[in-house]
Amino acid sequence: EEILPDETGIIIPQGDKALFVEQLHRLMTDNVLRAGMGKNAKRFAANFKVSSVADEWYALFDGIKNSMENSND
């Protein structure tokens, strides 16, 4: 879920050249859409900063550690 369709980007099936051209033209000619998607993508990308993701990993490992410790009791 790195791309939210029409919010942070556009998803085009591999090999669909016609849709690629259509959507590229849409982005090139619609300044509001392009600026909005760029702004949304930048905000969404902040969710994937090392500091944010690291906290989630630490929580996951702590949960696994606690689960293993409790199962040994």
- Quote the percentage of the chain above a pLDDT of 70: 97
Asked whether residue 30 carries a pLDDT value surpassing 90, the answer given is: yes
In which band, very low, low, confident or very high, does the pLDDT at 1 lie, cut at 50, 70 and 90? Answer: low
- Quote the percentage of the chain above a pLDDT of 90: 53
> How many angstroms separate the Cα of 19 from the Cα of each of 1, 9, 10, 54?
21, 14, 10, 37
Closest CA relative to residue 23, chosen from 14, 39, 38, 12: 12
* Neighbouring C-alpha atoms within 13 Å toward the C-beta of 65: 6
8 A C-beta contact, residue 23 and residue 12? yes
8 A C-beta contact, residue 13 and residue 19? yes
Asked whether residue 73 carries a pLDDT value surpassing 70, the answer given is: no
pTM of the model: 0.58
Asked whether residue 52 carries a pLDDT value surpassing 70, the answer given is: yes
